[in-house]
Amino acid sequence: MRMNPHMLMPGDASAVKGVRLNWSSLRRVWRFARPYRWAISGFLAAIVAAALIALVPPFVFRTIIDRAIPDGNRGWITVLAAIVVVAAVFDAGLAIVQRWYSARIGEGLIYDLRVALFTKVQEMPIAFFTRTQTGALISRLNNDVVGAQTAVTSTLGSIVSNVIVLTTTLGAMIAIEWRLTLLALVVLPVFIVPARRVGERLHGIAHEQMNLNAEMNTQMSERFNVAGAMLVKLFGRNSREVGAFSSRAARVRDIGIRSAMYGRVFFVALGLVGAMGAAAIYGIGAHLVVSGSLTSGSLVAMATLVQRIYQPLTGLTNARVDLMTAFASFERVFEVLDAPVAIQDSPGAVDLIDPRGAIKFDHVTFRYPPASAVSIASLEASGVMQGSDPDVDVLRDINLDIPPGETVALVGASGSGKTTTASLIARLYDVTAGSVSIDGVDVRKITGDSLHAAIGVVSQDPHLFHETIGDNLRYAKTDASEEEIVQACKAARIHEVIASLPDGYETVVGERGYRLSGGEKQRLAIARLLLKDPAVMILDEATSHLDNENEMLVQEALNTAMANRTAIVIAHRLSTVRDADRVVVLDDGRIIEQGTHDELVRANGAYASQVRAGELFTTLQA
């Protein structure tokens, strides 16, 4: 008798109680499965064929016992034995065919769903990522995608297999002796009712085990990255971390033992029921043989077939729950695929050709979008959606006209709206009212690819991928030659540092670039920007991590790079602000002053007060 491993871990009956399959979701599932319809047909056909071939041995054994042996026909016995061998070979071949179809369908679905999810996530606005738990999102691309694949292969295949095996086996048994068939079914309630209870216990154990594993994974992912490991060491919390992990691991160990025991009890019980059924068949059947109403071969065939009816019957008792639980993974995948994409190319969007870099803010008002418009509740931490972004304006009636090639410094206290203003240029967010335009075209009417190709950004904490220095640089220009890369790094004053490394440009920078110092990361990001060669540069505290000497060198490189380009500079260093063509002072989301450094100092307003108070600090001399 073949055991179905999924029988040991049924879905949560309470979770799907009263729930019905959503036909619209089923249609969507079919759209994903449609490219594999012939493979699915072959998979189901192999299941049916295997179920039918499995009936061959019992009938052959009956023929051998009832006819071939009494007739003393050795040739006939040899032929019948060969038929059993051939049937076994075909059954083994069909098992391989089933696995091949199952793997082809399953891995294909996993690929399709993962690519669809990854593509959708790439389209989501930055607001989505500021609210979403990364681990929960990754789980959708891993666990839920695999769960969705299971719905089409394992669960569907299991149900179809159970139905076919049960139908064919019961049909064969009834054809041989209907009274013994009814006798075999009498013992089922003795097993099915406890089996359902054991199944519920196993699901509860599995659910708790999954939660504990998730907690351990979260602890490991947060403590095993450089920043987390450094925090643990600096605060001396090694013992505390080991204790917390040990506690969770011990609980996983304990429930693993319980799960193993429940599973063993289940299989032992199933074996006992099979033994009881076989005993009943042999006991009562033997009397029928003695009375002449049943042949010995039929008795052996019945005893062989009775072993095949208990497992599929038990599996089908949880079929609805298993199916609903498996399809729940599809629902969670669809939840992401159906998430609103707040920022996307508008119909008729145009490419930005040969951008000059003229930027205009026209009566711009901005407030962060509500959670319902940009996020998915199940991907956020518990209770976060209730605490959505406040319905207040972050920027208010911003009017700013920046001609091509001008360098504008945005100045203001923390939270005044500097970074938000710059983010609207790259359309990381859409304005609430008014418009932001580049070269006279509203950014909402420009294709995203051409807009982002025209803008280069270096943030205060630049992100580097866990790849080589060369790969990180080529992210800006995939076809960059080695000479172009070296020239960009020389301009950013980072080439000599890279050249001194044993692996040079093939050096892996580590997670988030932690193998490099803050200044080295910053200069590498600047080199990446120079390699991109954009029309508009946004420098958000781009020199904040540099020492005095490096700041001067990089500032010279930036000054050269910003020639004939529009630059938006967010900075607190007076040396950076002073060199700007214009200084724009923000306060509480409004522009309160603008002009050159000297003009604003003479005006003796908010900017002059910041300078005197040291809020704009000058570069310290060594």
For residue 123, with 0-12 CB atoms within 10 Å meaning exposed, 13-18 middle and 19 or more buried, which class applies?
middle
pLDDT of 460 over the 90 cut: no
Pick the more confident residue, 55 or 13: 55
Report d(CA 33, CA 35) in Å as an integer. Answer: 6
Pairing of strands 441-442, 433-438: antiparallel
Report d(CA 151, CA 132) in Å as an integer. Answer: 26
- Give the C-alpha distances (Å, rounded to integers) separating 342 from 41, 122, 301, 351, 459: 40, 12, 66, 20, 23
- Among 203, 408, 418, 424, smallest CA distance to 322 is for 203
Residue 310 pLDDT: 72
Question: Per-residue pLDDT tens for 577-594?
Answer: 888 889 999 988 899 999
Residue 207 pLDDT: 61
pLDDT of 62 over the 70 cut: yes
Pick the more confident residue, 282 or 203: 282
pLDDT of 275 over the 80 cut: no
To which residue do tokens 């504008």 refer? 408
Mean pLDDT of the chain: 80
Contacts of 599 (CB under 8 A, 6+ apart): none
For 190-194, 396-400, 540-544, which range has the lowest pLDDT when averaged over its residues? 190-194
Pairing of strands 582-587, 407-412: parallel
Retrieve residue 536's tokens: 């508009």
Report d(CA 270, CA 4) in Å as an integer. Answer: 12
pLDDT of 386 over the 50 cut: no
The DSSP 8-state label assigned to residue 581 in this structure reads: S
Question: Per-residue pLDDT tens for 161-192?
Answer: 888 888 888 888 888 888 888 877 776 666 66
Mean pLDDT over 280-298 rounds to: 83
Question: Per-residue pLDDT tens for 82-95?
Answer: 998 999 999 999 99
Mean pLDDT over 408-414 rounds to: 88
pLDDT of 383 over the 60 cut: no
Residue 3 pLDDT: 40
Residue 292 pLDDT: 82
To which residue do tokens 């207040």 refer? 392
Cβ atoms < 10 Å from Cβ of 438: 27
CA angle 119, 458, 543 (to 5 degrees): 160
Residue 359 pLDDT: 94
CA dihedral for 549, 550, 553, 555, sign (positive or negative): negative
Residue 425 pLDDT: 92
pLDDT band at 196 (very low <50, low <70, confident <90, very high): low
Q: Which helix (H) or strand (E) holds 365?
A: strand 359-366
CA dihedral for 299, 304, 308, 311, sign (positive or negative): positive
To which residue do tokens 């992401």 refer? 336
Residue 583 pLDDT: 92
- Give the C-alpha distances (Å, rounded to integers) separating 512 from 368, 517, 529: 27, 11, 17
Contacts of 62 (CB under 8 A, 6+ apart): 176, 295, 297, 298, 300, 301
Cβ 446 vs Cβ 352: under 8 Å: yes
pLDDT band at 221 (very low <50, low <70, confident <90, very high): low
pLDDT of 598 over the 80 cut: yes
pLDDT of 428 over the 50 cut: yes
Give the class (CATH, top level) of 5-337: mainly alpha
Report d(CA 327, CA 32) in Å as an integer. Answer: 13
Q: Which long-range contacts (CB under 8 A, 24 or more apart) does 156-160 make?
A: 156/323, 157/43, 157/44, 157/47, 157/98, 157/102, 158/4, 158/6, 158/7, 158/315, 158/322, 159/315, 159/316, 159/319, 159/322, 159/323, 160/44, 160/47
Residue 199 pLDDT: 62
Strongest mean pLDDT among 230-244, 321-335, 392-406, 556-570:
392-406
pLDDT of 8 over the 60 cut: no
Report d(CA 2, CA 42) in Å as an integer. Answer: 21
Report d(CA 321, CA 313) in Å as an integer. Answer: 14
Intra-chain end-to-end CA distance of the chain, in Å: 82
Q: Which helix (H) or strand (E) holds 211?
A: helix 188-223
Pick the more confident residue, 312 or 569: 569
Q: Which long-range contacts (CB under 8 A, 24 or more apart) does 197-201 make?
A: 198/262, 198/265, 198/266, 198/269, 199/7, 199/8, 199/9, 199/10, 199/318, 200/10, 200/13, 201/262
For residue 148, with 0-12 CB atoms within 10 Å meaning exposed, 13-18 middle and 19 or more buried, which class applies?
buried
Residue 320 pLDDT: 63
pLDDT over 90 percentage in the chain = 14
Residue 547 pLDDT: 65
Cα 448 to the center of its chain, rounded Å: 24
Residue 389 pLDDT: 54
pLDDT band at 155 (very low <50, low <70, confident <90, very high): confident
